[in-house]
Amino acid sequence: MSKPQPHKARKRFGQNFLHDVGIIRRIVACIAPKEGQRIVEIGPGKGALTEGIISATKRMDVVELDRDLIPILRVNLFRYPDLTVHEADAMKFDFSTLATEGNIRVVGNLPYNISTPLIFHLLSYAEKIDDMHFMLQKEVVVRLAARPGDSLYGRLSVMAQYYCQVESLFIVGPESFDPPPKVDSAIVRMTPHKTRPFVAQDLKTLEDMVRIGFHQRRKTLRNNYKGVLNDADFEALGIDPSLRPERLDVEDFVNIANLVSQKD
């Protein structure tokens, strides 16, 4: 195997490599990998998290977009013949192809520039995923875990909590990375509901209704849903139309979506 070239972190791939061994151990302890589990890592980079996981599971799939990192990863993890590297864009990757023998677990210190659309992409595979552990910009973790009434409660919170139980685990400072990002990071655990407490008849309608609901956060529901819901609809739903969208919980949004689906 020829010696890989030194790698300079690439901003466009959101590369901030973890080097803090204590933090890496804490993340792996939260994941608690077990032999035989099928764990998929998004953006393994040079393998900072990968080794702690594959040393327990013995096999692993990783999805990495930067082809220049792959020789470095292979050298760093040469001891593990059952590491499967997918040179691919995780945003377009079909994760169901890895869930052929049962559900997968997903982990990653995600590229922050695409973390929100990437989470939306993964949520579409929620039924095939047992759990997800991610390092994200702290603000994104706060949004994911926010409850009705919290200042950062919004579209991301509702959609994530429709599919998953969301737990914010711990904060990681910029000094744990090379190069250090400008913001704090945090670890989140997202566990897809085995049975969903509320079921939307049509997911696209739910997504649309959540987007419309939060279109203007400072406006009332009556205003945001003008032309979609009238006062009689709000009464039937038991929702006060003079409230702001941040007061609604996941069940309210599901009820709105189901009423709209019935009307269509």
| Binding residue ranges for S-adenosyl-L-methionine | 16, 18, 43, 64, 89, 109
Structure tokens at 235: 């009464």
Task: Answer whether 162's CB lies under 8 Å from 196's CB.
Answer: yes
Minimum CB separation from ligand SAM for residue 63, in Å?
5
State yes or no: residue 15 binds ligand SAM (CB under 6 A): yes
- Residue 70-99 contact track with ligand SAM, rule CB under 6 A, x = bound: -------------------xxx--------
Residue 34 neighbours by CB under 8 Å, 6+ apart:
56, 57
Minimum CB separation from ligand SAM for residue 114, in Å?
6
Minimum CB separation from ligand SAM for residue 210, in Å?
25
State yes or no: residue 48 binds ligand SAM (CB under 6 A): yes
Query: CA–CA separation, 230 vs 235, rounded Å?
Result: 9
- Residue 135-154 contact track with ligand SAM, rule CB under 6 A, x = bound: --------------------
Among the listed residues 23, 60, 61, 64, the single contact to ligand SAM using CB under 6 A: 64
- Residue 17-46 contact track with ligand SAM, rule CB under 6 A, x = bound: xx-----------------------xxxx-
Residues in contact with ligand SAM, total (CB under 6 A)?
23
Angle of helix 21-31 relative to helix 50-57, nearest 10 degrees, comes to 40
3-class secondary-structure state, position 18? strand
Q: Is the sign of the CA dihedral 111, 172, 51, 108 positive or negative? A: negative
C-alpha to C-alpha distances, 8 to 68, 116, 137, 179, 185, nearest whole angstrom:
10, 25, 21, 10, 21
State yes or no: residue 111 binds ligand SAM (CB under 6 A): yes
